[in-house]
A and B are shown apart, each in its own frame.
Chain A
Amino acid sequence: MSLLKSREAILALAILGLLALIASRFPGFVAPANLAAVFTDSSPLILLALGQMVVILTKCIDLSVAANLALCGMVAALMNGAGIPLPLILIGVIALGAALGAFNGMLVWTLGIPSIVVTLGTMTIYRGVIFLLTGGAWINAHQMSPAFKAFPRTVIAGLPVMAWIAVVIIAAVALLMMRTPLGRAFYAVGGNPHAAVYTGISVGRTQFAAFVMAGALAGLTGYLWVARYAVAYVDIAGGFELDVVAACVIGGIAIAGGAGTVAGCVMGALFLGIIKNALPVVGISPFWQMAISGAAILIAIAFNAQSQRAPGRIILKRAEHRT
């Protein structure tokens, strides 16, 4: 536990170091208003990373989150076009996202197909469905109602609603993971599936729950994304699933399952979010930007692997002394 705690402390320090480095080149970046903007911009990544964390904890992975986001976003835009009020749209996309996640979960649970294969397939299916719904057409800013676009932007107590949603979800997931049987079951299933079965936890059901949760979060984010960028088309958030997995890994979520915290996950997402927002302003050649993002991920992972490595245990102390 102290090791975990210290890893999060180190990540926090890394974020502060990163901010200091950016501030030395572009002081305006660390202004409170800008940091709030960066947090808001990172909100979709945080939301998806939290969902992904739960899935990864159960020894699975969900590559379809970005496609799920795109499909739910498109459906939100279409519902808005049909004149459906915003609260219904929100409920609708969360339910749809959860259903898409449940579809992944069912395949993993009942058919026992590896999650990476299932979600690789559904990722393409979900994108394909968007094409079927729209015939490849875009939904643009002027086709969305002002209220639809304004909701995530509405500022309450200094932060936009989008950021507040992230704050609330972070708190809710933290509570779920630490204080509820389901939350502990996620860790148990990933940490030691056999032991989990003996304690009466159904591995498949728990993984199913994790996929539903990730799907619901992706659905909610789908609406936020489309409303924020005021455009919906087949390819929105293309490749975003990799950012989400990277955020989890940087945040110290063990890819093998069973270990990781909400705080780590959120900081991992913030770390990536800060890099994404800083690169455009620090004046680095675009040709280097991708390499820098990649290097940051590799360094973080190497660091995690190092700190996770169990120290060797000496079992024959006397024998060692003699040699």
Chain B
Amino acid sequence: MSILKKALTTAAMASALLAGAAQAEDMRIAIVAKALGIGFFEAANKGAQEAAEELGDVEIIYTGPTDTTAEGQVEVINSLIAQRVDAIAVSANDTDALVPTLKKAMQRGITVISWDSGVAPEGRQMHLNPSSAPLIGNMIIKLAADNMPEGGQVAVLSATTTSTNQNVWIEEMNKVAGDYPDVEVVGTVYGDDLADKSYRETQGLLKTYPDLKAIIAPTSVGIVAAAQAVTDAGKIGEVNVTGLGLPSEMAGHVKSGASKSFAIWNPIDLGYSATMIAYHLAKGDASAEPGATIPMGRMGEVALDDNTEAAMADPFVYDASNVEEFADVF
């Protein structure tokens, strides 16, 4: 089976190579996914194609291994080097394993960036994060505030007490809480990323704070469990569940009204931005060094930090108007 897939991949690459040779003027940017056939990356490819159309003289080679392994990506990248592509933008299956191969690519003059899931600094020129902790922290409280014009009480349902991501986001949220004077954050409870405990903690919140207006759950297990608990308590419309979740998991709860809106990165924008950045770096009209800014079309521009990492944008907001469309994607 894998032989067949490899043969197909090779065939696809060969045809891409031929197509590339036909229009030698075009810049060829390779978008390397963690694995083919994952909705998230297919959507990123859609964004990359959009960027290519906008730029005009760019051809996208969307590729990746058939399963999420670093070895598979090394093979794919080696064949891209052989094809002499102009730029490689990779979402890595392993931080370190790809470094030697990507170094080789850079030595041959290929622009290498990582996006979504990063590579160690020595293996890429820059890394594009979908978002950053301050942006996420601000977004989750903004989502709650936007849906409660009169203000009121808000509680946070987190994962475990030791989850680094959630703790950082909540800390950032509390830093900007002063910007939302009508929102009173009454407390944080921990659902341990278990559906049953998150459900029970939500029930506890509903009992402890009868006037609660919103629950912020910056975890995909928590937000689903909280939405279900609010539904079962018959409090749809009184308590709005928001936070970070995946459209495919939240579609039902947005439809029922338990969640008015939630956020997560938009893979289309991510693929678009990665392509734009790779284009400008390969073209030489931007450089990847600490403090530099790189334009990325309709997404504005990004500034690189000391680790040559950058945050693309605010998390993308999903609500009743677009959740169905993205539910099929990821």
B255 interface residue per 8 A CB criterion = yes
Q: Which of A94-102, A169-177, A275-283, A300-308 is the contact stretch?
A: A275-283
Pair B207/A140 contact, Cβ less than 8 Å: no
Contact of B249 among A37, A140, A235 (CB under 8 A): A140
Roughly how many angstroms separate A229 CA and B253 CA in the complex, as a whole number?
Answer: 12
Query: Which residue on B lies nearest to A279, using beta carbons?
Result: B204
Pair A276/B200 contact, Cβ less than 8 Å: yes
If A140-B249, A281-B207 touch, whether A229 touches B200 (CB-CB below 8 Å) is no
Annotate A92-126 by CB proximity to B: 1 below 8 A, 0 otherwise.
00000000000000000000000000000000000
Contact of B200 among A138, A235, A277 (CB under 8 A): A277
Q: List B contacts of A28 (CB < 8 A).
A: 207
Pair B189/A231 contact, Cβ less than 8 Å: no
Pair A280/B204 contact, Cβ less than 8 Å: yes
A153 interface residue per 8 A CB criterion = yes
Pair A230/B228 contact, Cβ less than 8 Å: yes
A237 interface residue per 8 A CB criterion = yes
Roughly how many angstroms separate A141 CA and B256 CA in the complex, as a whole number?
Answer: 10
Q: List A contacts of B224 (CB < 8 A).
A: 140-141, 230-231
Taking the nearest CB of chain A, how far is it from the CB of B167, in angstroms?
12
B116 interface residue per 8 A CB criterion = no
Annotate A24-58 by CB proximity to B: 1 below 8 A, 0 otherwise.
00101000001001000100100000000000000
A181 interface residue per 8 A CB criterion = no
Taking the nearest CB of chain A, how far is it from the CB of B319, in angstroms?
15
Q: Which of B175-183, B191-199, B295-303 is the contact stretch?
A: B191-199
Pair B194/A140 contact, Cβ less than 8 Å: no
B248 interface residue per 8 A CB criterion = yes
Roughly how many angstroms separate A238 CA and B196 CA in the complex, as a whole number?
Answer: 10
Please provide the chain B residues from 229 to 252 with a CB less than 8 Å away from any CB of chain A in the complex. Answer: 232, 248-252
Q: List B contacts of A235 (CB < 8 A).
A: 194
A286 interface residue per 8 A CB criterion = yes
Secondary structure of the B side of the interface?
A: helix
If A41-B200, A141-B253, A231-B228 touch, whether A238 touches B205 (CB-CB below 8 Å) is no
Roughly how many angstroms separate A225 CA and B190 CA in the complex, as a whole number?
Answer: 20
Pair B251/A142 contact, Cβ less than 8 Å: yes
Taking the nearest CB of chain B, how far is it from the CB of A23, in angstroms?
13
Pair A286/B252 contact, Cβ less than 8 Å: no
Pair B252/A142 contact, Cβ less than 8 Å: yes
Roughly how many angstroms separate A240 CA and B195 CA in the complex, as a whole number?
Answer: 12
Pair A138/B208 contact, Cβ less than 8 Å: no
Pair A237/B207 contact, Cβ less than 8 Å: no
Pair B196/A237 contact, Cβ less than 8 Å: yes
Pair B161/A287 contact, Cβ less than 8 Å: yes
B201 interface residue per 8 A CB criterion = yes
Pair A280/B252 contact, Cβ less than 8 Å: no
Q: List B contacts of A153 (CB < 8 A).
A: 232
Roughly how many angstroms separate A237 CA and B190 CA in the complex, as a whole number?
Answer: 16
Q: List B contacts of A60 (CB < 8 A).
A: none
Pair A229/B195 contact, Cβ less than 8 Å: yes
Query: Which residue on A lies nearest to B250, using beta carbons?
Result: A140
Please provide the chain B residues from 168 to 224 with a CB less than 8 Å away from any CB of chain A in the complex. Answer: 188-190, 194-197, 199-201, 203-205, 207-208, 224
Q: List A contacts of B232 (CB < 8 A).
A: 153
If A153-B232, A229-B199, A281-B208 touch, whether A138 touches B248 (CB-CB below 8 Å) is yes
Pair A140/B204 contact, Cβ less than 8 Å: no
Pair A140/B252 contact, Cβ less than 8 Å: yes
Pair B195/A231 contact, Cβ less than 8 Å: yes
Query: Which residue on B lies nearest to A237, using beta carbons?
Result: B196
Please provide the chain A residues from 266 to 323 with a CB less than 8 Å away from any CB of chain B in the complex. Answer: 276-277, 279-281, 283, 286-287
Pair A236/B252 contact, Cβ less than 8 Å: no
Roughly how many angstroms separate A142 CA and B208 CA in the complex, as a whole number?
Answer: 29
Q: List B contacts of A141 (CB < 8 A).
A: 224, 227-228, 252-253, 256
Pair B194/A238 contact, Cβ less than 8 Å: yes
Taking the nearest CB of chain A, how far is it from the CB of B225, in angstroms?
6
Annotate B64-95 by CB proximity to A: 1 below 8 A, 0 otherwise.
00000000000000000000000000000000
Query: Which residue on B lies nearest to A230, using beta carbons?
Result: B228
Query: Which residue on B lies nearest to A277, using beta carbons?
Result: B200
Q: List A contacts of B197 (CB < 8 A).
A: 276
Q: List A contacts of B199 (CB < 8 A).
A: 228-229
Taking the nearest CB of chain A, how far is it from the CB of B133, in angstroms?
21
Annotate B10-25 by CB proximity to A: 1 below 8 A, 0 otherwise.
0000000000000000
* Residue from B188, B196, B255 having most chain A Cβ neighbours under 10 A: B196
Taking the nearest CB of chain B, how far is it from the CB of A241, in angstroms?
13
Q: List B contacts of A236 (CB < 8 A).
A: 195-196
Roughly how many angstroms separate A183 CA and B280 CA in the complex, as a whole number?
Answer: 76
Taking the nearest CB of chain A, how far is it from the CB of B205, in angstroms?
7
A37-B203, A141-B227, A287-B161 are known; give 5 further A-B pairs, CB within 8 A: A141-B256, A142-B255, A143-B252, A235-B194, A240-B196
Residues of B participating in the A interface, judged by any CB pair closer than 8 Å: 161, 188-190, 194-197, 199-201, 203-205, 207-208, 224-225, 227-228, 232, 248-253, 255-256
Pairs across A and B, CB under 8 Å, 9 listed:
A140-B224, A141-B228, A277-B200, A279-B204, A280-B203, A281-B204, A286-B161, A286-B190, A287-B161
**Which 5 residue pairs across A and B have the least CB separation, nearest first?**
A280-B204, A142-B252, A141-B252, A229-B195, A286-B190
